[in-house]
Each structure stands twice: as C-alpha cells, then as structure tokens.
Amino acid sequence: MNGIDTVLWNDHGSWGEMVLNRPEKGNALTADMLGRLDAIARSAAQRQDLRVVVLRGAGDRFFCTGGDIAEWGAMTPSEMARDWILPGIDVFGRIARLPQVVVAAVNGHALGGGLELALAADLRVAIARAKLGTPEVGLGIIPGWLGTRRLAEIAGVSRARHLTLLGTPITAAQALEWGLVTAVAETPEDFEAQVAAWRERLCANAPVAMGLVKGILETMHADLRQHHASAVAQAAATEDCREGVQAFLEKRTPVFRNR
C-alpha cells in the first residue's frame, strides 16, 4: 500500500475530510501515511475557500491505534529520532497550525500516536464506545509526537501523568470529563450529527478571525522537537524497549528489567 491509498482526502468545497484508510490495521500510521498527511495539510493551508478540516479513521472500530510497530520497531535509536519522531512532530504541527479549524472525529479507539494526532486538532468529538490512551510505556517507549505536552496543556499535568504513566486507556465519558474531548455521542447517527453541527457552525464563522485566534493560542508552544526526539531515542535504546517490541510481536507479556 502507499500513502495515497491509506490516507484519503474528500473535498467538499468549504470543508474537507482527511481519512486514515487502513482499518484492517487499526488505521495505524506508517511513514507513507505521515507523508500523505503532510502533503494534504500543505495543500489545505493554501486554500482560502476551505473553512474546516475533519480528521477521522475509516471503519467503525478505530480512529487510529498510533504508529505501526512494523515501521519503527526495527529502527535504531538515531533512525527513530531522525526518520520517525521528527517527521511526525512536523506533520502534526502542520495540522495544528492550519488556518482552518481542524475537527477530530474520534469514531473509534484513539491510542498512542492516534491520540496524539487527535490532540493536534482544535476540537474533538468521540463516539461513546471509544477508548483513548497512551499505552507506550507498556512497550518500553514514550509518546514521541508532542502528545505528552499536549495532554498536559489540555487536561492538566496530573491527568497527563495518569494516562502516560499507567498506560491504561480511559473511556470517552472520562475523556469528556477531563476535557480531552468536548462532546460524546452515543450512536453513530448522533456522532455524525454532532460533527455536521460543528462543521456548519464553523463554516458560518469568520475564517480570518478563527485563524487569528488559533495563531494566538499557538504562541503557547515552544519548540521542543529536539527534546522529544532525544527522549524517544533514549527510550528506544533500552533493553526494555527491545523486550517490549519483541513481546508485542510474540503476543506475550513483556518482562522489563529496568535497563
């Protein structure tokens, strides 16, 4: 598969839809998909007629399960920092900085890098059955695409610690209580109605004003790309990370030895 097949762009004039189109793999992200997301975001940024970008996963089970372990599991620490983490940070940042409002339609589980991608959006709505979490520590790795910081900004440091240190997903209802999402829908029909209602409201608002508000909020972010890439490389260099990846592939519980 290539990135064009696994990330779709549905253009509806005043709004468009990025669709992670790999449902048989939980819409897990590959390097090609990151490249395609980047290309779509670059194109969208130039569109004055485009008001809203909706981000969703194909299928009805997963929004996105994060980075495909087949992509990064065999990388060296330096390769991971250079070829996986920094490009991902750049892509998610480009999506976050779009002049259009980005709505993450979390139509299923959002885990690891999938949650990080959703957090790069301006607004998030989740289907009630969705789970949201950062299970990376169970693999001996850490969230690498600025997700830890975005979690802390959105939900607070204490809750960011809860998610990233325990590695246990939370329900959509709890995510609503924590502010990770601002709407939850019980049924697929209600979910689509909520996405449509937000989309229509946003398309009716003044685009320049919304873009300026986004720019003001973006000033909260310092450039921590290298820090995050270095931290991920450090985690990837541990025996525990190698054990976590191998255990995942062998479908067994990892045995971590703190080295």
Convert the pLDDT of each residue in 151-174 to its tens digit.
999 999 999 999 999 999 999 999
Which amino acid appears at position 155 of this protein? A
What is the mean predicted confidence (pLDDT) over 133-149?
92
pLDDT interval class at 220 (50, 70, 90) = low
Residue 9 pLDDT > 50: yes
pLDDT interval class at 105 (50, 70, 90) = very high
71 counts as catalytic: no
Convert the pLDDT of each residue in 84-98 to its tens digit.
999 999 999 999 999
Q: What is the pLDDT of residue 55?
A: 98
Convert the pLDDT of each residue in 28-69 to its tens digit.
999 999 999 999 999 999 999 999 999 999 999 999 999 999
116 counts as catalytic: yes
Residue 175 pLDDT > 90: yes
Residue in 71, 136, 186, 239 annotated catalytic: 136
Residue in 24, 116, 177, 239 annotated catalytic: 116
pLDDT interval class at 221 (50, 70, 90) = low
Q: What is the pLDDT of residue 227?
A: 62
Q: What is the pLDDT of residue 1?
A: 45
What is the pTM (predicted TM-score) of this model?
0.86
241 vs 68, more confident = 68
**Domains parsed from the chain with CATH numbers:** 3-187 (3.90.226.10)
